[in-house]
Structure 1
Amino acid sequence: MRSFLRAPLAVLAMLGMTASPVAAEKMLLSNSLNLCQQDSSLQASLFNVVYTPGNNSASVTMVATSSVQGKVKFDVEASAYGYTFLRQTLDPCDLGLAGLCPMVADKLSFGFNLPVSKSASDNIPGIAYQVPDLDATVRVRVNLTGTGETIACVEADISNGKTVNLLGVKWATAVIAGLALVSSAIINGLGHSNTAAHVAANSLALFGYFQSQAIVGLTGVRLPPIVAAWTQDFQWSMGIIRVGFMQTIFTWYQRATGGTPSTLFDSLTTVSVEVQKRSLQVARAGLDLAKRSVAMMPKSALTLFKRGNITTGSGSYVVFGIQRVAFKAGIESTNLFLTGLVFFWLFGLFTAGAVVAFKGLLELLGKRGLIKADRFEDFRNGWITVLKGILFRVCLIGFPQMVILCLWEFTQVDSPAEVLLAVIFFFGTLFTLCWGASKVIRLARRSIAMHRNPAYILYSDPQALNKWGFLYVQFRASAYYFIIPVLFYTLIKGMFIALAQRSGVTQAISLIIIEAGFLIAGSVLRPWMDKSTNSINIAISVVNFINAIFLFIFTNVIDVPLLVVGVVGVVLFVLNAVMSLVLILMVIFSTALSLIRKNPDARYQFMSDDRASFMKSQSQLNATTELDALAATARGDKLGYKAAFDNESLESSDIRKNNEASGSYSISATESQNSFYPGAQPHAPVPLFPAQRGASPLRESVVNPQASGVSLAQQRTHTASPASGHRSQHNASPWQRGAGYDH
């Protein structure tokens, strides 16, 4: 057996292309010996090897069972990224290792240091110790000397300790995304609503892109090591974060509620865990043997088998998909659902606590005269509505996480209580967002019916904007409905990820179709608020679509050379690393400018849907155009009145509008204004035309309908004349601009 080990260890260095940036000493290592043939006569349940070129020795720990008896030879094959660069046949008799010439059937459990020749060490390229997460393996076939029959095949994955799965990357991306979201809220509280909308849209796009990277790692597709490590950097966005004491609590909770926790990490001293690195079909090489011995498995192994882990005939485990992510994060697979759920809950709780604390701080500073009385005035007066809107936004951010983890829990059934939690949070989050989306659509349709522009109510009503604005501010006003496709896209995508874990091909093909559909919809409709925001989100959709194609290549159902698969893995890493860097720098730059500029709204052009005319912004309070003056009158800003379009006022307005259209009654301008704003005091109408242009009877009747004796209904009748109708067709009213009426 030692000769069998010595052969691959002598060439370990030649395959290594994985090293850790923090490693002080060069090394090549392997933590598992995997079967590559059914009914293999050599089975290892534990295999740990560390080769250090400094002393030319390899430390070996192994627990294996051999049913081979007689003289054998080892065919050694080493490859990196699918390219085979070494083939060698070794005879254990020539190496002079007792017990292996001839090999005897026995159960072996030992640890030893194996010397590696200086010549073998000199053949190792230096890059082997530097390239992170290299896809390198050594495969050894055991052949009978007399017949040449292959009676066993084992394979070792090689690493050098270097990886792109770094704690610093996780913290940096999480802090940047979090600060961007907080900054958008602060900027909005300062009254710069236009800037806040842009910062919020960019930060949401960045956070969504991080989640899409994490979802790639959650698929059941075979992933090259560098891709699996890269996607692990973003699993925090799905709530997959390991905290030691929390894992202990989750294990206790599962036992207390009738579940059986897995103990995979407690078994690492006796069994190996193979992180699925080839296609699932190859990883199942020992599955048939495992099925025949299922009845003889220990209870913990049987539980893992039923929950989706592949248990090889030697007793080692193969983890893939969501369980692969959990294993790499140091989390037991039975604790993964609770981990994601609790962090989602804590995210919402801490956010709510921060809002309440900020409100208290502002009141304290205001009483002591340390801030101006009008600073954060809107937030201080309507902070409860703002808090509701922020919690709804938390639901939107955590929606992909809840869809995948809750649906996956339905397939795992870790305990009855956890299944109940999955039902509550999945349907609760889904119904909450669907209710919010339906509310937005109803408000927009009512605004169109009353004012021929969806932006009127969506942006002039501070209650609707603060509570439901998270669903539509990133879109242009006429594309308010696009939140429905976004939610549907997230739901369908999460369903395939959670429910098709055992079929990587199904996941890859479905992701190609889903990402292609979303990319086409975004490119054709261009629903986001402006050109730059459309460009960012379409670029993200393009990258997600390319990632889906790469996932299909990783399945290797089209039988491409393994070298191509390895190269595609590197390309995916480089592409997404560059995209992440560009998005992060863009968000940092835009957020920093927004915070340091005195008037950040001036940096952005007015959006074509005229939302700035309806929104209350520090840079827009002094209306100079006819549209701004009319919008300011509608809000009641000139009188210090804040309009709130609640359901009752909107419904009563609809009734009055229908009555006017049917000629049931006619009201004057003053009566109409007072009835439209309950409790508002009569005031002089705002002039829409400069005085120096001169006055005409028609203009006077428009500016002061009471003085001219023309009722509001008569004015509408006059406006509806054929000549006026012809004019409106060719000269769109400012109320219609950007709302789709000029097309």
Structure 2
Amino acid sequence: MWLLPPRPLLLLVSLVASVLPAGAENVLRSSSLAACQDNSGFTASLFDVVYTPNNNTVAINMIATSSIEGHVLFDIAISAYGYEFIRTTLDPCKSNLPGLCPMTAGDMSNPFILPVADSAASQIPGIAYAFPDLDASVRIYINMTSGEQKGKRIACVEANISNGKTVDLVGVKWGTAAVAGLAIVASAIVSGLGFSNAASHVAANTLSLFGYFQAQAIIGLCGVPLPPVVASWTQDFQWSMGIIKVKFIQDILTWYQRATGGTPSTIFDSLHTVSVQVEKRSLVAPSLAVFGRAAVHHAASIVKRANITTFFGSYIVYGIQRVAFRAGIESTNLFMTGLTFFYIFFVLAAFCVTAFKGLCELAARLHWIKGDTFSDFRNGWLTVLKGVLFRVTLIGFPQMTILCLWELTQNDSPAEMVLAVFFLLGMIAVLGYAAFKVIRMARRSIALHRNPSYVLFSDPQALNKWGFLYVQFRASAYYFIIPVLGYTLVKSMFIALSQSNGTAQAVGLIIVEVAALITASVLRPWMDKSTNSFNIAICAMNFVNAIFLFVFTDVFGLPPLVIGVVGVVLWIANAAFSLILLIMLIVTTAIVLFTNNPDTRYQFMNDDRTSFMKSQTHFQTTNELEALGATARASGKFKPPMDLDDDDDGSEVSNPANMALPPSQTNSARTSMYSNPDHVPAMHAPSVRPRPSSSFRAPSPFMSSRAPSPYTASLSNSSQPNIHPAHPVGHKPSPSAPSAWQRGAGYE
């Protein structure tokens, strides 16, 4: 029996390696031996085999139990990426294998080392040691050749082979996280300098890329058997879901669970006596019903999980548990790990905004910077802080909905259940309220000004506080945040609540992703053509990944080789796509940071949003609204807008003059305005937020359907004091004074 593991192992690698590239480090190993049939007469709770070609030895550490007595024949099947290379038989009596002719019942637990013949080692090409996440396995059927059970298959074991190479790399995790983080910071700095157009483009693309990273991580969280390369690739992006191992944090979370009445799992403390298998395409978990009460009771004391299948001390993890095990996190700590890092990110964002405010004030006092540098941020930093925290909540929404819903099915401890309910309902309520506010403001703007851009972009406090929900969309698609939140919530429910049914998850994801792709392609809700193309491409890739995931369920009974090839294609396609997106973002961010006027790189949106924002001297647009606003400001006929974010609508309702004129009265009002500038209706006083310009252009489509601007009158008679100025002409408010245009980086 001692030679049973190494002989199939060498047969496997001699064939599988022929399709793989050469590598530097030569090692092949198997860390699990799975039973592949019910009531198998041979099982192993620990199986660790390492082949080192440098000295041609195989080190074996195995804890196994055999109930087989008599003469047997080994039927060996060797496959790579689902393709069976060899199907052969081995008679232990003819091969002079000691202890196997005949086999005897008993336990085996002594580690040992076996030499490997040069003839066997020479059959292993160097390509076997370099290809990442080698998907190779050997399956051994043990058939009786004597006694009453002659000709009957009494055992089946399977070993997966790895060469130690993987695409689950720390460098990929740090690289993707660094690019996304630096791009967000860069957009905030550029916005603080006044280049809001460039900043909004960089921020929108960065957050879309971050959402794509989360979509990649979600694939790994599905309860579908994944090829090794797919499981490793998706593990690179689990940081975006807050699944990060830090030793002292894990110790604290284990203590917290015990202190709140929970029972932590100890699967990592038991690795020296048990074997943990990561579920893959060829590994079918046996039913718990055939294990017996003793096995189930023993497993419950170690794993305490419904979706870790046990077999005499050997465990098979899948779905969310698979991600936790590969990350080195106990399954009972997974929810609190994600929650902890979400909270850390939340606090860190608040600290960074506050610290930047303090540094700006200190630099201004010490004359390191000009007194008006970042003046808008310094005056309205509290509003900016609120917007940043809302944005963090939106980023963490997919992560927390999945983990909170999943925790409700796990019940790690009563306190953790309370936290799951609190954060789930709290985040849904906060984002739902924010979306309601945006829709309410946009509808008010349409009712008053026939243009949603006015209220959404003219009120700086509303822009900084709620702009994170709509600034990446065109003004007429202000409502699109509702489908985005609904898409995230439905997708999270499929992932968290259907862990035991991978097929249902795959079908659900196909439905969700095709709906997202069609909606994005038809509505094209983002701010401009390039941003729409960026996001539609991500939606298309997510849909393709959902198709691949459905293939992995093997509901069509496809040949194993097809499934193996699809796994490699998914990895290559997503790796190339991610690289392209990262390069685009890096180049764009670098150009924005090192260009004197980055706003000139982007065409201004055609929804008039720039006409309603705070005027910046570097804007060189030619909008009619801007020219009119420049004239109004020059004559001192401008005052800050009313607080359109106020929940009380009484002021607008009680003043019907604020309502747009009906079509039948538009011509007469326009005639009266132009013929008698002294009678400009007061209702239109704050109707635009123009910015200076030296030239005119044709009116936008919104101008043709909107009530005429009162500033038209001021073009012909700029001395009429119809509107009280906010400041005397020529007066420049100090940087420390409160500004009516407190715009910052809150929506980036």
Q: TM-score, normalised by structure 1?
A: 0.88
Taking a change above 3 Å as real, the CA distance of residues 145 and 623 of structure 1, as seen in their structure-2 partners, is closer
Q: Secondary structure at the match of 1:75?
A: strand
Q: Hey, what does 2:301 align to over in structure 1?
A: 300
Query: Percent identity, aligned pairs only?
Result: 59
In structure 1, what residue type is equivalent to 2:92? Answer: P
Distance 1:22 1:381 in 2: 61
Q: How does 1:640-719 map to 2 (within 5 A)?
A: 642-643=640-641, 644-647=643-646, 651-657=650-656, 672=682, 702-704=712-714
Q: Hey, what does 1:727 align to over in structure 2?
A: none
In the alignment, structure 1 residue 260 sits paired with structure 2 residue 263: yes
Q: Secondary structure at the match of 2:307?
A: coil
More divergent stretch after superposition (621-630 vs 59-68): 621-630
Taking a change above 3 Å as real, the CA distance of residues 390 and 566 of structure 1, as seen in their structure-2 partners, is same
Q: Hey, what does 1:27 align to over in structure 2?
A: 27
Q: Secondary structure at the match of 1:59?
A: strand
Q: Secondary structure at the match of 2:5?
A: helix
In structure 1, what residue type is equivalent to 2:77? Answer: E
Distance 1:315 1:515 in 2: 39
Distance 2:261 2:711 in 1: 78
Instruction: Output one character per residue of 1:618-656: Cα deviation in whole Å (capped at 9) or x when no partner.
Output: 355577542113456899997896545342786423432
Q: Hey, what does 2:228 align to over in structure 1?
A: 225
**Contact persistence 2:336–2:416 (CA under 8 A):** yes
Q: Hey, what does 2:205 align to over in structure 1?
A: 202
Instruction: Output one character per residue of 1:25-72: Cα deviation in whole Å (capped at 9) or x when no partner.
Output: 301001000111111000100000001111111100000110000011
Q: Hey, what does 2:192 align to over in structure 1?
A: 189
Pairwise CA distance, 1:285 = 2.5
In structure 2, what residue type is equivalent to 1:288? Answer: A
Of residues 157, 161, 184 in structure 1, which corresponds to 2:160?
157
Distance 1:637 1:256 in 2: 69
Q: Hey, what does 1:63 align to over in structure 2?
A: 63
In structure 1, what residue type is equivalent to 2:69? Answer: Q
Taking a change above 3 Å as real, the CA distance of residues 451 and 141 of structure 1, as seen in their structure-2 partners, is same
In structure 1, what residue type is equivalent to 2:459? Answer: D
Instruction: Output one character per residue of 1:668-696: Cα deviation in whole Å (capped at 9) or x when no partner.
Output: 7677279859xx9xxxx999999xxxxxx
Distance 1:287 1:440 in 2: 51
Work out which structure has the larger RCO, using CA pairs closer than 8 Å and 6 or more positions apart in sequence.
2
In structure 2, what residue type is equivalent to 1:554? Answer: F
Instruction: Output one character per residue of 1:518-562: Cα deviation in whole Å (capped at 9) or x when no partner.
Output: 000000000001000000100000000000000000000100000
More divergent stretch after superposition (488-497 vs 635-644): 635-644
Structure with a larger share of its residues in helix: 1
More divergent stretch after superposition (15-24 vs 440-449): 15-24
Q: Secondary structure at the match of 1:424?
A: helix
Q: Hey, what does 1:365 align to over in structure 2?
A: 363
Distance 1:676 1:339 in 2: 50
Instruction: Output one character per residue of 1:165-212: Cα deviation in whole Å (capped at 9) or x when no partner.
Output: 000000000000000111111111110000011000110011000000
**Contact persistence 2:18–2:124 (CA under 8 A):** no
**Contact persistence 2:21–2:131 (CA under 8 A):** no
**Contact persistence 1:444–1:458 (CA under 8 A):** yes
Q: Secondary structure at the match of 1:400?
A: helix
Q: How does 1:450-465 map to 2 (within 5 A)?
A: 450-465=448-463
Taking a change above 3 Å as real, the CA distance of residues 623 and 64 of structure 1, as seen in their structure-2 partners, is closer
RMSD: 3.2
Q: Secondary structure at the match of 2:64?
A: strand
Instruction: Output one character per residue of 1:213-267: Cα deviation in whole Å (capped at 9) or x when no partner.
Output: 0000000001000000000000000000000011000000000000000000000
Pairwise CA distance, 1:16 = 5.2
Q: How does 1:498-513 map to 2 (within 5 A)?
A: 498-513=496-511
Q: Is there any run of 5+ residues in structure 2 with no aligned partner, and where?
A: 698-707, 723-748
**Contact persistence 2:141–2:155 (CA under 8 A):** yes
Distance 1:117 1:260 in 2: 49
Q: Secondary structure at the match of 2:160?
A: strand
Distance 2:648 2:436 in 1: 19
Q: Hey, what does 1:693 align to over in structure 2?
A: none
Distance 2:709 2:640 in 1: 28
In the alignment, structure 1 residue 52 sits paired with structure 2 residue 52: yes
Taking a change above 3 Å as real, the CA distance of residues 18 and 574 of structure 1, as seen in their structure-2 partners, is farther
Q: How does 1:319-330 map to 2 (within 5 A)?
A: 319-330=317-328
Q: How does 1:237-316 map to 2 (within 5 A)?
A: 237-278=240-281, 283-285=284-286, 287-294=288-295, 296-297=297-298, 299-301=300-302, 304=304, 306-312=305-311, 314-316=312-314
Q: Secondary structure at the match of 1:4?
A: coil
Pairwise CA distance, 1:615 = 1.9
**Contact persistence 1:18–1:163 (CA under 8 A):** no
Distance 1:115 1:669 in 2: 103
In the alignment, structure 1 residue 81 sits paired with structure 2 residue 81: yes
Pairwise CA distance, 1:97 = 3.2
In structure 1, what residue type is equivalent to 2:379? Answer: N
**Contact persistence 1:19–1:27 (CA under 8 A):** no
Q: Is there any run of 5+ residues in structure 1 with no aligned partner, and where?
A: 691-697, 713-743
Taking a change above 3 Å as real, the CA distance of residues 614 and 252 of structure 1, as seen in their structure-2 partners, is same
More divergent stretch after superposition (589-598 vs 628-637): 628-637
Taking a change above 3 Å as real, the CA distance of residues 366 and 6 of structure 1, as seen in their structure-2 partners, is closer
Distance 1:319 1:22 in 2: 31
More divergent stretch after superposition (36-45 vs 613-622): 613-622
Taking a change above 3 Å as real, the CA distance of residues 375 and 554 of structure 1, as seen in their structure-2 partners, is same
Pairwise CA distance, 1:702 = 5.0
Q: Secondary structure at the match of 1:231?
A: helix
In structure 2, what residue type is equivalent to 1:52? Answer: T
Distance 1:386 1:209 in 2: 26
Distance 1:538 1:440 in 2: 24
Q: Hey, what does 2:437 align to over in structure 1?
A: 439
Distance 1:636 1:514 in 2: 53
Taking a change above 3 Å as real, the CA distance of residues 96 and 652 of structure 1, as seen in their structure-2 partners, is same
In the alignment, structure 1 residue 336 sits paired with structure 2 residue 334: yes
More divergent stretch after superposition (86-95 vs 665-674): 665-674
Pairwise CA distance, 1:488 = 0.3
Of residues 414, 417, 438 in structure 2, which corresponds to 1:416?
414
Taking a change above 3 Å as real, the CA distance of residues 465 and 122 of structure 1, as seen in their structure-2 partners, is same
In structure 2, what residue type is equivalent to 1:549? Answer: I
Equivalenced residue count is 693
More divergent stretch after superposition (28-37 vs 368-377): 368-377
In structure 1, what residue type is equivalent to 2:556? Answer: I
Pairwise CA distance, 1:292 = 4.8
Taking a change above 3 Å as real, the CA distance of residues 704 and 224 of structure 1, as seen in their structure-2 partners, is closer
In structure 2, what residue type is equivalent to 1:180? Answer: A
Q: Secondary structure at the match of 1:283?
A: coil
More divergent stretch after superposition (633-642 vs 20-29): 633-642
Distance 1:415 1:76 in 2: 46
Pairwise CA distance, 1:369 = 1.6
Pairwise CA distance, 1:454 = 0.4
Taking a change above 3 Å as real, the CA distance of residues 640 and 23 of structure 1, as seen in their structure-2 partners, is farther
Q: How does 1:107-126 map to 2 (within 5 A)?
A: 107-126=107-126
**Contact persistence 1:17–1:159 (CA under 8 A):** no
**Contact persistence 1:474–1:528 (CA under 8 A):** yes
Q: Secondary structure at the match of 1:570?
A: helix
Of residues 347, 366, 375 in structure 2, which corresponds to 1:377?
375
In the alignment, structure 1 residue 481 sits paired with structure 2 residue 479: yes
Taking a change above 3 Å as real, the CA distance of residues 574 and 424 of structure 1, as seen in their structure-2 partners, is same
Taking a change above 3 Å as real, the CA distance of residues 637 and 516 of structure 1, as seen in their structure-2 partners, is farther
